[in-house]
Structure 1
Amino acid sequence: MFDEAPSFSPTEYAVPAFVLLILIEVMWAWKRRSESYEPRDTLTSLMFGLGSTVAGALFGSAVIAVFFWAYDYRLFDLGEQWWLVWWAWPLCFVLDDLKYYWVHRAGHRIRWFWASHVNHHSSQHYNLSTALRQSWTGSFTPGFLFGLPLVLAGFHPVMLAIAGGFNLIYQFWIHTEAIDRMPRWFEVVMNTPSHHRVHHATNPRYLDRNYAGVFIIWDKMFGTFQQEMKQERIRYGIVKQLGSFNLLWAVFHEWIGLFRDLWHAPWRYKLLYLLREPGWTHDGSRETSDMIRRRWLKEQDRTTPQPVVENNAIADPDQAA
């Protein structure tokens, strides 16, 4: 039934363009912002990309098998030549991007997912090579479950894989400081370098914001959008920086921390360490992103000058009764 179905990977064709764009950005950084690139950091990012490709080839087949199994139980059928149903492609792309928003949000709010996703945020630099920091261990999280509703809705697994590939290609170019802002109409709807810089920031204001892949409208709809503030310099990376360019430590450090917490935690808290947000502890010894933001907001309230009212009088006579 599926012998004639297309099965190419869009990202494979995009690799030469990725390399060319990185070289162009390196030349830009050499002249304009040399701190954007650090040789050891860039090498680590490149090794991340290579390793994630190998890991996907080794472990991704299990997820593919689950999707093809679920497809036999689909509620709607696009027909045997599903790839010729033109309207299904844009619909699939939009719905897959909505799926990406939620799986990405889970990647920041559930520590089991974060142990894999933290790889992408581990660099303290923000450039196109950072986009290559893809996880090696994504197949060891249940993130694939977010895609099952689309399979059951009748979208073929190959169609979803192609849509996901184009989604990934789009996200490559937004990992840059070389582009300030896009036209206003574009910034309103689409994810952009400005929006995604916020997502990679460790500033309390920016933590766990802008999860979008292609369409920033999801963040605006679900209350996780934050505009980039020109007056606040962005600090990239993770709250507790790696402090190392060791590739294996960068890949597995959060898994090691998670297993350590699971080993030492009382039995009644073990599942919570797996499913609660990063930074959560049963004794409050560490901070979550929400706790960091609340503390920052309190500090802002204390340092913000308040209007002076003398003798309970209104200072502005125009406002007097």
Structure 2
Amino acid sequence: MFEFDSLFGAPTIPVDKIWTIEAGAPNLILWAAPAMLLLTAIEMIVTYIQEKPYYDKWETLGSTLVGLGSLVVGAAVKLGLLYGAVWIYNHLPWRMTLQWWTLVPCYLIFDFFSYWAHRISHEHRFWWATHVVHHSGEHYNLSVSFRLSWIQNLKIIFFLPVAFFGFHPIVFFTVSQLAVLFQFWVHTEYIRRLPRWIEFIFATPSNHRVHHGSQEKYIDKNYGATFIFWDRLFGTYQPEEEPPIYGITTNIGNKANPIYINFHELQDIIRDVRQAKGFRRKWFFLFGSPVEVARQKQRLAEKQVVSQEQSA
């Protein structure tokens, strides 16, 4: 029989031994990077040969530069995140020992909180500013998976509950990397519908294409990172029907500048909050639904046009 004593009650990790955690957690993303770049290059070549409109050179350049910046930012904050995870682990009485089979429950729990972190990132404008980078591409291809915001690590607060479950830090960081790597292959037009049972369980390319669509029926749907059944459970699932129109409701103009790609929404938030009158309006422009903010700004712009025409 399974003995819980063999799983719980692991010893604390001394701070001076934290390097053993860093060494023990495989850097899966770094190892996978060459394969990801090779597959992206192959897709680009096939797209060029077939004359498919799946890539734009400036947008691809922007995705690549954003991705390189994300790697730098990730490396810079890794040690801080590691110290935080170990600190939490050491203060839990139900610390789990390093058992590799715990990757399975950890991954499932991690994906549940990933769903909610992703959903909140679409429903509240401040958090949308940490995610809009990923949706700003108007083409759907493997390079889109590189478009990860440089400030996305702010969303680590949504994953704190996973750390409080007591999983070993090596398991926690391995799962977080596996979750990121899973999302690489779903960003492609070349994989169409998969068998029904796969489409029912997983966030496949078809399911995720919907998520990147800018049509009304596709907006704020299919948040699942690995498993799509969260969307089915919480009422945010939408099957792929007509081809998605990619991008955001108001697409950006500077497609190759990684600074602009990362921070244009924050600039807009600051401007809108400054111009808004009253606390309620300022709060709305900071934490309101990005969709509602865009609609209100559109209505305001239309009123200004009408006013200018009437005064002319």
For the aligned pair, the TM-score class normalised by the smaller chain equals 0.7 to 0.9
In structure 2, the partner of 1:164 is: 176
Letter in 2 for 1:236: Y
Paired with 2:297 and 2:37, the residues of 1 have a C-alpha distance of 43
Q: Name the SS for the 1:237 alignment partner.
A: coil
Paired with 2:240 and 2:133, the residues of 1 have a C-alpha distance of 23
In structure 2, the partner of 1:297 is: none
Deviation of 1:35 after TM superposition, in Å, equals 1.0
In structure 1, the partner of 2:139 is: 125
Query: Is 2:127 aligned against 1:116?
Result: no
**CA pair 17-55 structure 1, distance change in 2 beyond 3 A:** same
Paired with 1:247 and 1:23, the residues of 2 have a C-alpha distance of 20
Query: 2:76 aligned to 30, 55, 58, which one?
Result: 58
Q: Deviations over 1:147-171 (max 9, x none)?
A: 1111111013332221011111111
Q: Which runs of 5+ in 2 are unaligned?
A: 1-12, 300-312
Q: Deviations over 1:265-288 (max 9, x none)?
A: 23412233322211444993448x
Letter in 2 for 1:51: G
Deviation of 1:185 after TM superposition, in Å, equals 1.5
In structure 2, the partner of 1:104 is: 118
Moved over 6 A (4+): none
How many equivalent pairs are there?
Answer: 279
In structure 2, the partner of 1:89 is: 103
Q: Name the SS for the 2:248 alignment partner.
A: coil
Letter in 1 for 2:64: L
Paired with 1:51 and 1:98, the residues of 2 have a C-alpha distance of 27
Contact kept, 8 Å, 2:102 with 2:171, in 1: the verdict is no
Deviation of 1:64 after TM superposition, in Å, equals 3.6
**CA pair 146-42 structure 1, distance change in 2 beyond 3 A:** same
Deviation of 1:89 after TM superposition, in Å, equals 1.3
Query: Is 2:275 aligned against 1:264?
Result: yes
Query: Is 2:162 aligned against 1:144?
Result: no
Query: Higher helix share goes to which structure?
Result: 2
Q: Name the SS for the 2:290 alignment partner.
A: coil
Query: Is 2:289 aligned against 1:277?
Result: yes
Query: Is 2:91 aligned against 1:73?
Result: yes
**CA pair 116-283 structure 1, distance change in 2 beyond 3 A:** closer
User: What CA RMSD, in Å, does the superposition of the two structures yield over aligned residues?
Assistant: 2.0
Instruction: Decide which structure has the larger Cα Rg and report it.
Output: 1
TM-score by length of 1: 0.81
Paired with 2:237 and 2:208, the residues of 1 have a C-alpha distance of 10
**CA pair 69-276 structure 1, distance change in 2 beyond 3 A:** farther
Q: Which runs of 5+ in 1 are unaligned?
A: 288-321
Query: Is 2:237 aligned against 1:219?
Result: no
Query: Is 2:250 aligned against 1:240?
Result: yes
TM-score by length of 2: 0.84
Query: 2:44 aligned to 26, 44, 49, which one?
Result: 26
Q: Deviations over 1:2-57 (max 9, x none)?
A: 64441222111111110121122112212334210111111111101001111222
Letter in 2 for 1:26: M
Contact kept, 8 Å, 1:97 with 1:215, in 2: the verdict is yes
Query: Is 2:36 aligned against 1:14?
Result: no
Paired with 2:297 and 2:58, the residues of 1 have a C-alpha distance of 33
